[in-house]
Structure 1
Amino acid sequence: MILVLISPRQAGLPFAAWLPEEAGRLVAVTAAGTDVGPGFAEVVTVPDYTCDDAVLAAAGEAARRHRPRAVLALAEADVERAARLRSELALPGLDTTAAAAYRDKVLMKEYARTAGIPVPAFAPVATVRDITDFMAAHPGRVVVKPRSGSGSTGVHVIDAPGRAAPLADLLADGSYEVEEFVEGALHHVDVFRVGGEQVAAVASRYTGAGCLTHWADAPLGSRNLDPADPLHERLVAQTWRLIDALPSPDTVCAHAEFFVTGGGSSSGTRSADAGNGRIVLCEVAARVGGGRIPTMLRHILGVDPRELWARVECALPVALDRVREHARTAPRAAFCGIPPKRGRVLRLPEAPPGAQDFAVHTHIGDDWSGERYRLRKSGDFLASWVVTDPDAAALDARLDDTAQQVSAGFGWEYPQETASSAIPSPTAAVPATAGPDPAEGGAR
């Protein structure tokens, strides 16, 4: 039996199709009211999936009934939960020590710094005084974010000590960190290692300001770098150094994010000094990248990376050589997603020419005003798609063109005080303090 932890955001993934050998032997733990799709022998639900104790208790009871041979979890929120279950059940996979290192942004940076990997100056914080003291020692903008957060939520960019005061209540539980703001292009590297053997590593660059673009209601995208680009080689090498610096098992997948400062490549194209920028760790997670990254990676790897990882986690056969070959010969690929605006959806777009895997994730009448808008994640896309092209410049042009068309295809009804109709290019830079208030929302 396979015990599968399914966050509501993972609902509908075709686990039964990915794991046909386990038909009739899949048991899900998820939130009440979540449709996990077909193929499960039992679905155990909890009222609040954000409650660790409730999820672990439900999973523990299911495990006692079914005696699983593996625990599968794809969401960031389930990384430590799955590790605890594996420890209690003596099952293989990411253990509690490794899970903590990949989840806790302070701990992961301590491991990285010890290994000589550049990281921003950082410190744990529990009070406003901790932030102001840090800013006194490190002048300039700083980022305050949850130590174990994800999806660009709960992040605050502070440009003056006086701006920290409103965060007092938020910091009281001691689960936040502060770090210096790094000026640089944000890249991500997605890697897979099985039995100590490197299977695939794909380096990509986010468009614009990366995961901060939704602060300005701008499209968010990413495109993989040419493997011949010297920056690709450096990013991949730094990622494997990071994996080895953390207490990683021989079999692991990771989604790492790095800033490339100075001479780093500012586009998907190769340039004379593309490999000269300083690579600074942002953070790393022991999971497949979120949002539409898996869809983009499917075009590069030849298989959905979540399916690949699900089969590896469950010790089922995977054609790893085929994955390697596909990654070596695949065309360049990019994804783009349109974030919500503060308002109500009145009109939906059509798929633009050249878009693949086009999907609309909303409906007419969908209301994104108020608290829902404030708590939006960087991966909360209302429409998303992938484009491919072997030529980097052509890929960028196609990404921009399709983003313009899809953005213009939406119709919005805005609250009285809101006026927003601009359609930013996904490759345009977005100020790091963009948004209604630089001390609210976003991610870094």
Structure 2
Amino acid sequence: MSVLILHRNPFGPFPYREWLTGRTGDVVVLAARDKIELTGEEVPEGDLGYTHLEIFDDFDDASVMTRALALAEKFGTTHVVALHEADVVRAAGLRERLGLDGAWSADVLPFRDKALMKELAVRAGVEVAPHIVAATADEVRDFAGRQGFPLVFKERAGFNSVGLRVLGDEDALAHCVGEEFSGPPREDVLLEAFVPGRMCHIDGLVVGGRVAAAWPSQYQYDLSSFAADPGPRVDVTLDIDDPLTPRLLDLTDQVLAALKPQGSRLRDHAFHAEVFHTPDGRLVLCEIACRSGGAKIREVFLTLFGIHLAEYVTRAEAGLPLPGYEDGAGDGPLPRPRCMSGQVLTMKRPGLVRSLPAVPEDPWVEGFWLFAEPGQVIAPASGSADFLTAAVVSAPTRAECERRLRELGARVQARTEIVGAL
């Protein structure tokens, strides 16, 4: 009996051995070299205490799945764990091929295929942006003529805003068409009407098919601006008595029900939903994932509820009981957060790092992380999760939490110096 883990993250925030307490048997880990190096971690030379650890230079290469199947046979794999968006379908495919418990391909596809996701949401009465699967340049131009600008171009199975473009005018459209539609018809990209308003996100845990804990937050920045935003990016939870809070929680329940039909094997999982709140008060689904949110959303959720989403999902996918949910999620109301929380992030920008801030000593700082060090030459942010610094804060109210986040963000920015690379 063994657990096979597909790991596309640094190792520091993911102590699988600790999370798998109570489980006997082998633990086999396949990891992505670039994600380890991206945060400044040393690539391990040993096995880190796992039964088998293998590092891959290209985690998207077909050889990773071939090797995973070979190791699954060698070690008698009974459970597959994958926490990264790029690997949930691969893990589901492994489970299906091996006949294992947990979600199979058809169960997770609605959470990865944005076109299918939107189709199912619309059938359930959830509003989404007007969109098309953009196959040809002519279809793109026709859609632009009907919808006007701005438009959003994105990958159908994308994540972390990689490849996302906001097309503001005819010149931007022509440039996109020239780059993206010079070959045969495509099936892998979407073109959407731009939805104005603030982006909210709802994060939570599902146990036994029922939402066990969830809470909404609101980005105070534009996710797609990661490459051009040198300032602090603030993300803060909504108050309990905010009228938007129950609306977002109810909408998320509606979307989850639409994407998980009767008989779905996706029973125990985290989720991260993104929803536009428009100036006229509408809620428009952007997308939803069947995994925990990135950045420091997991640490924010831990501050709110004492639940680390990655730990709970690891235990669930490894066939272990979840602390506090040994008998399922129960039928009572959702728990209320014990405080408000949020995160403030700064993105990498190219150059030589001269100085970075020290760890803050404020009692309300729940965590602080640096992803570079003085003397290091770094590249620009490659996606919306390529951070220079990150911090999680707590406070009694949203207003105070946001004030603390902005204060801390200003301090971080003032104490960060990056000059042109030599």
SS at match of 2:228: helix
1:396 to 393, 402, 408: 402
Give, as a single letter, the amino acid of the residue that structure 2 aligns with 1:298. Answer: L
Aligned pairs, how many? 398
What residue is the counterpart of 1:341 in the other structure?
349
**Cα drift, residue 10 of structure 1:** 5.4
Name the TM-score, length of structure 1 as normaliser: 0.84
SS at match of 1:71: strand
Matched, 1:131 2:140: yes
Q: CA separation of 1:283/1:22 partners in 2, compared to 1, >3 Å: closer, same or farther?
A: same
**Cα drift, residue 48 of structure 1:** 1.2
Give, as a single letter, the amino acid of the residue that structure 2 aligns with 1:347. Answer: S
Which structure 1 residue ranges, 5 or more long, are not aligned? 264-276, 417-444
Give, as a single letter, the amino acid of the residue that structure 1 aligns with 2:150. Answer: R
Give me the whole-angstrom Cα distance separating, in 2, the residues matched to 1:7 and 1:228: 37
What residue is the counterpart of 1:119 in the other structure?
128
**Cα drift, residue 329 of structure 1:** 4.5
Identity of aligned residues (%): 30
2:384 to 365, 378, 390: 378
Describe how 1:353-368 pairs up with structure 2 within 5 A. Answer: 353-354=361-362, 355-368=365-378
What residue is the counterpart of 1:44 in the other structure?
54
What residue is the counterpart of 1:78 in the other structure?
87
1:219 to 232, 242, 258: 232
**Cα drift, residue 306 of structure 1:** 0.5
SS at match of 2:387: coil
Give, as a single letter, the amino acid of the residue that structure 2 aligns with 1:179. Answer: E
Give me the whole-angstrom Cα distance separating, in 2, the residues matched to 1:213 and 1:29: 29
Matched, 1:405 2:376: no
SS at match of 2:94: helix
Q: How big is each residue's C-alpha offset from its partner over 1:266-297, in whole Å with a ceiling of 9 and x where there is no partner? A: xxxxxxxxxxx211011111101011111111
Describe how 1:34-433 pairs up with structure 2 within 5 A. Answer: 34-35=43-44, 38-51=48-61, 53-167=62-176, 168-171=178-181, 172=183, 173-212=186-225, 214-247=227-260, 249-263=266-280, 277-320=281-324, 327-354=335-362, 355-368=365-378, 372-373=379-380, 376-414=382-420
Once the two structures are overlaid, the 10-residue window that deviates more, 346-355 or 185-194, is 346-355
Q: How big is each residue's C-alpha offset from its partner over 1:372-391, in whole Å with a ceiling of 9 and x where there is no partner? A: 42x62112111111111112
Q: CA separation of 1:126/1:326 partners in 2, compared to 1, >3 Å: closer, same or farther?
A: closer
**Cα drift, residue 24 of structure 1:** 4.9
Q: CA separation of 1:335/1:20 partners in 2, compared to 1, >3 Å: closer, same or farther?
A: same
Alpha-carbon contact 1:203-1:224 (below 8 Å) kept? yes
Alpha-carbon contact 2:344-2:406 (below 8 Å) kept? no
Q: CA separation of 1:81/1:414 partners in 2, compared to 1, >3 Å: closer, same or farther?
A: same
Give me the whole-angstrom Cα distance separating, in 2, the residues matched to 1:327 and 1:220: 28
Give me the whole-angstrom Cα distance separating, in 2, the residues matched to 1:113 and 1:366: 48
Name the TM-score, length of structure 2 as normaliser: 0.88
Spell out structure 1 runs of 4+ moving beyond 6 A: 322-326
Alpha-carbon contact 2:207-2:325 (below 8 Å) kept? no
Q: CA separation of 1:251/1:8 partners in 2, compared to 1, >3 Å: closer, same or farther?
A: closer
Give me the whole-angstrom Cα distance separating, in 1, the residues matched to 2:208 and 2:218: 28
Q: CA separation of 1:278/1:12 partners in 2, compared to 1, >3 Å: closer, same or farther?
A: closer
SS at match of 2:128: coil
Which structure 2 residue ranges, 5 or more long, are not aligned? 37-42
Alpha-carbon RMSD across the aligned residues, in angstroms, is 2.4
**Cα drift, residue 326 of structure 1:** 10
What residue is the counterpart of 1:272 in the other structure?
none
